Structure 1
C-alpha cells in the first residue's frame, strides 16, 4: 500500500508539474527553425511573425535555418529535438505529404503534424512580360499543338510547384515539362533569363517580379487584391484552388497542452489586423487551422493530392 501511495503521489506531482509548465509557457525565448534558405516564403512569414511573437507570448522567437532536401533534412530531425515547446519548426504542405509518399525521406507525415496552419501561397502561372502567351488559353493551345515544349520551372521535385504542374497537365489535358530549381527565386531567375517558358510558382513571386512578368491565372476562390485583373483558375473553367500551406510543428512527444499554447499563440498573431495586412500585400492568403482541427485537415489534403501523387510516382 505504501508503494502504491508513493506511485500515486509521484504521478500527481508529475501531472501538476506538467500543468504548471504549460500554464507558464513560454518562460524563455523560443527557437523557430526554417527548413529552407533565408529569403523564401517560409522565412518571410517567420520574420513577419517574429515582430508580434513577443507581444503575444511574452518571449522572443529566435529564427534559425536548417535547409536541405526541400525541407526533408529538418523534418527528419524534428523528433530528435527536445519536446519541451522551446523549439518549433516551419512545415509546408503538400511537401510533407508528397515527400514520404513517393520515397524514403527519413520521416512520415505523421511525424510532422502541425500545431497550426496559418496561410497559403496560391499557385500561379507566371510568364515573362514579353511572352507570346497573353492568356492561359494561349498557353494551353500551344501546349496541345506542341506536346512537351511547354517548360515549367518550379521549386524542387515533389514540391507544391511540381504537384501543381502535374495537376495542370491533368486539368488542361496537355503534356508539359517540369524543370526543378533549388527554390522559387532561382526558378524565377531562370524565367527572367529566358531559360524556361513559364514558372509554376506563387503569387508572392509574381509580386516580387513586378512589371517583368505577366500572371496568367491564380489558384484562389476569389481574385487576390495584389492582382485584381488576373483571373482565377475557377473563372477560366478549372476547379482548382491550391498552393503551399505553411504552419508550425513541434516534436511528437511535446505535451498536448503545450502544443495547444503554441497553436493559440500563432492563432493570435494571425488575428492581428496589421499582420494580416502585411501578408495580404505580399500575396499570401490567411487560413486558420488550429491543432484540434489538424487531423481532419491532413486527411482532406491526402485525398486532394492522391491523384497527383500517383502521377508523380509514374514520372
Structure 2
C-alpha cells in the first residue's frame, strides 16, 4: 500500500473523529438565547424555565437576551444576519411568523426562518381586572353588543395569536371590539391592570402570574385548563373557539444540518425533563414536541390553518 494512501486514510479518520467529537461536545460554550419580546412575557418565562435545565444537562450557561419590537418582527428580521454556529438561538412564535409576512413587509418571510423545535402551546384567554364590571363573558358580550367599538382589548402584537383571537371572537359573537397591540404580553397585561383597556386577549399563563389581580372570563381550549378549573371554555359558552400561541426555537439559515439537529436535540432533552414538564404545566403551558425532523409537515399544517384565518380577517397575502 502506498504511503500516500495510508496518510490519506489516517487524515480522513482523524477528520471524522474530530467531527464526531465536535458533535459530542456541543455545546462547548455559553448559548445566547434571544427572546423577541419584552421580559416578563410567556417567551421569557419559558426561557427562564429552560435555562436551569439546560445548564444542569450541559454544564454550560444559557444567556437570555431581549430584542423586542414590532410584535417579534424586529428580531426575526435580523436572525439570518447572526452567526449560525449553534451558539445563537432565537425564540419563534406561531401564528406570528406566518401571519405577519402575509399582512405586510415586516423584513422577513416565513420561509426565511429555520425553526428547529416547537416546545409548547398556550391557549388564549380573556382577562379583565379583578374589580371589572364584567363578572362573566356574557356580561362583556352584552356590553359589546350595546356599545359597538367601545370594548377595548389589549394584546401582544399585530397579526399575532391574541389578534387572531380577538378577530375570531368578534366574528363568532357578532360584535365589534377594538384591538390595541402592545410589544409583548407583559405590557399588554399591564394595560389591563392599569385600566388603559377594558379587557385583554392574553394567555392562561399571564392569568396565573397575576393571581388575584385579574379575572379570567373564558379560555380558548377544547377542555377546561387544570390551572383554572372553574373558568369555562368558549366552546362551553356556545362559541366554537379554540386557539393560542405556539413557541419554539430557530437558528440562522447559515446553520448546517448538523447544527440544526444539535439544537433540536438540545431543546428536546430539556422538554423531556420531568421536573421541567411539571413546572410548565403548573405555569399554564401545554408541552408539545415538534423536532426538526417533523418541522416541515408541522409548518405546512399551521400555514394552511392560518391562511384561512387571514382570509377571515381580511388579510391578503403580501
Structure 2 length as normaliser, TM-score?
0.88
Q: Secondary structure at the match of 1:83?
A: coil
Distance 1:289 1:14, change over 3 A: farther
Q: Secondary structure at the match of 1:295?
A: helix
How large is the Cα RMSD of the aligned pairs?
2.4
Deviation of the 1:312 alpha carbon: 5.3
What is the rounded CA distance, in whole Å, between the counterparts of 2:119 and 2:314 in structure 1?
27
Give the equivalent residue in structure 2 for 1:307: 308
Counterpart contact for 1:126–1:198, Cα < 8 Å: yes
Give the equivalent residue in structure 1 for 2:203: 202
What is the rounded CA distance, in whole Å, between the counterparts of 1:303 and 1:290 in structure 2?
20
What 5-or-longer segments of structure 2 have no aligned partner? none
Deviations 1:79-116 (A, max 9, x none): 11121111111111111111111111111111113111
Deviations 1:168-226 (A, max 9, x none): 11222221111122322222222223232211111122122222221111122222222
Give the equivalent residue in structure 1 for 2:77: 76
Give the equivalent residue in structure 2 for 1:238: 239
Counterpart contact for 1:166–1:308, Cα < 8 Å: no
Query: How many residue pairs align between the two structures?
Result: 307
Counterpart contact for 2:71–2:182, Cα < 8 Å: no
Give the equivalent residue in structure 2 for 1:163: 164
| Correspondences of 1:126-145 after superposition (within 5 Å) | 126-145=127-146
Structure 1 length as normaliser, TM-score?
0.89
Q: Secondary structure at the match of 1:169?
A: helix
Distance 1:14 1:212, change over 3 A: same
Distance 1:238 1:281, change over 3 A: same
Counterpart contact for 1:166–1:312, Cα < 8 Å: no
Give the equivalent residue in structure 2 for 1:87: 88
Deviations 1:59-82 (A, max 9, x none): 322222222222112111111112
Deviations 1:138-173 (A, max 9, x none): 322332232212211112222221111111112222
Give the equivalent residue in structure 2 for 1:104: 105
What is the rounded CA distance, in whole Å, between the counterparts of 2:72 and 2:19 in structure 1?
31
Deviation of the 1:260 alpha carbon: 1.6
Distance 1:13 1:91, change over 3 A: farther
Give the equivalent residue in structure 2 for 1:190: 191
What 5-or-longer segments of structure 1 have no aligned partner? none
Deviation of the 1:14 alpha carbon: 11
What is the rounded CA distance, in whole Å, between the counterparts of 1:92 and 1:175 in structure 2?
27
Give the equivalent residue in structure 2 for 1:263: 264
